Amino acid sequence: MTTRHFPPPALGRSRVPGEGLLDDRGPHFRPTVLAGAPRIGVLALQGDVLEHLRLLDVAGAVGAPVQTTADLDGLDGLVLPGGESTTIGTLLELHNLLGPLRQRIDAGLPVFGTCAGAILLARRALRHDGTPVEQTLVGGMDMVVRRNAFGRQVASFEADLDVTGLTAPMHAVFIRAPWIEEAGSEVEVLATADTDLGPRVVVARQGALLASAFHPELTDDPRLHHLFVRLVEEAETPRKRPVRC
Ligand code: GLN
């Protein structure tokens, strides 16, 4: 089966609905990207793509929407956005992206998953009530996540969180967010949120993989994106070390 670009790039049309909105990227946007800036893809099958592209610009990277396996070539890093993890997982399979993505992660591609994206990075997902749920995950991080852990859409909330490595708290937007229920020994906990059950892990890192249960892209605070860009710059990425498919 061949993968199809839609709309074909040759037409020069925007590949993500609303992409034209990025022409007004606000005061932080630097139209001339520095030579050598890392190229970071944002999986653009479902979820909040534009918001990540905007903050990647602010964080000094060149953002690129990813919809096909060809789009994965030449990336230094990838963002898996928030949205709906079951939908994104299904679309990854339909677009023949699941295998190539797993292969690149194995080869060291840095990935930043936010909310649904964080769920996709887990090795196992649980429902809100803690029972296991069968869904397509990308994997990569040795963690189990509990989906919708804080409750339904109406239980969405915002909180100021201390994140390891950041000097001031981060304002965090949680929308039907997961938490990290179990983290393996290789997983470094970077932030927890207070819950009725005690603190629960909401930001974690394993090597060049970063997971955030909240949506940093929905605020103007680029610090987690900066952190990811730093991980990308430090990593030995597939682009620097070509992968054979
Ligand atoms: N609850 C969604 C899921 O399980 C994630 C929500 C989000 O990304 N804001 O996929």
Per-residue model confidence as pLDDT tens digits over 114-162: 999 999 999 999 999 999 999 999 999 999 999 999 988 888 889 999 9
Which one of the listed residues 51, 52, 217, 225 is annotated catalytic? 217
CATH code linked to domain 37-234: 3.40.50.880
Tell me the pTM: 0.87
| Cα–Cα distance for residue pair 134/86, rounded to 1 Å | 9
pLDDT above 90 covers a percentage of the chain that reads: 78
pLDDT of residue 12: 40
**Res. 30: pLDDT tops 90:** no
The DSSP letter of residue 37 is: P
Residue 82 alpha carbon, nearest atom of ligand 1: 8
User: Pick the residue with more confidence: 16 or 36?
Assistant: 36
Q: Return mean pLDDT, the chain.
A: 88
* Residue whose CA is at the smallest distance from ligand 1 atom 2: 84
User: For the segment 60-75, what is each residue's pLDDT rounded down to a tens digit?
Assistant: 999 999 999 999 999 9
- Of these residues, 51, 52, 115, 225, which one is catalytic? 115
| In the chain, domain spans | 37-234
Which atom of ligand 1 sits closest to the CA of residue 86?
10
Give the integer Cα–Cα distance in Å for 206 and 191.
Answer: 13
How many Å is the maximal CA-CA distance in the chain?
53
Distance of CA 71 to the CA centre of its chain: 16
Instruction: Output the CA 165–ligand 1 centroid distance in Å.
Output: 26
| Predicted pLDDT at 31 | 46
| pLDDT at residue 6 is higher than 90 | no
Q: Which candidate, 37, 74, 70, places its Cα nearest to that of 56? A: 37
Strand ranges for the chain from DSSP E: 39-43, 62-66, 77-80, 111-114, 124-126, 132-133, 143-146, 157-161, 170-174, 179-183, 188-195, 198-206, 209-212
CA–CA distance, 245 with 142 (Å, rounded to integer) = 25
Supply the residue whose CA is at minimum distance from atom 5 of ligand 1: 116
Mean local confidence (pLDDT), 34-52: 91
